[in-house]
Amino acid sequence: MYKRDLELQRTWVKLLDQIKASIGKRPADLNAVLFLIGVQELGAGKRQFSKEEKQDLMHIAICRVLSSSGFYELEGVDNDGWPHWKAIKKLPHFDLLEQEQLLKSHIIEYFESEYNFNPKQ
């Protein structure tokens, strides 16, 4: 298990480096990456978001990345252009570290499929 955790962390660092190369700033943490994904999925471009909107954007990101494993499904988009997701299956009960690892691995998959991120480069 330790070797897999180490490989996940190495790939995560490479992803953060790629994001930095793309946007000019390295995301500070997992939440910052989720926020970026949420903004991208919303498609509203660069603008100021309220605290509540930032939380909603991170929720959008979580649903989007976990949808690849069938945990969520896109229900549709509201009149303001915000996507809405519904839970399809229950997430396993994980401790905080396991939750973080689940999200990181799904975020990496998201960047591999959507942005051709290749951690082997």
- The rounded average pLDDT for each run of 10 residues, N- to C-terminus, in the chain (121 residues) is 86 96 95 97 90 97 98 96 96 93 97 89 70
Count of domains in the chain?
1
Beta bridge partners of 74: 85
Backbone conformation region of residue 42, classed left if phi is above 0, alpha if psi is from -120 to 50, else beta: alpha
> How confident is the model at residue 1, as a pLDDT?
58
Q: Do the domain assignments include residue 68? A: yes
Asked whether residue 5 is assigned to any structural domain, the reply reads no
Give the distance between the most distant pair of CA atoms in the chain. Answer: 46
In a domain, 84, yes or no: yes
110 found inside a domain: yes
Consecutive H or E run containing 99: helix 96-115
* Strand 83-87 versus strand 72-77 pairing type: antiparallel
Answer whether residue 1 is part of any domain: no
Is residue 40 one of the residues assigned to a domain? yes
Contact by Cβ (8 Å): 16, 26: yes
Range of the domain at 78: 30-115
pLDDT at 113: 94
pLDDT at 44: 81
d(CA 47, CA 49): 6
Whether 15 maps to a domain, the answer reads: no
Residue 106, domain member (yes or no): yes
So what's the pLDDT on residue 119? 83
For 83, list phi and psi in degrees, rounded to 5.
Answer: -75, 150
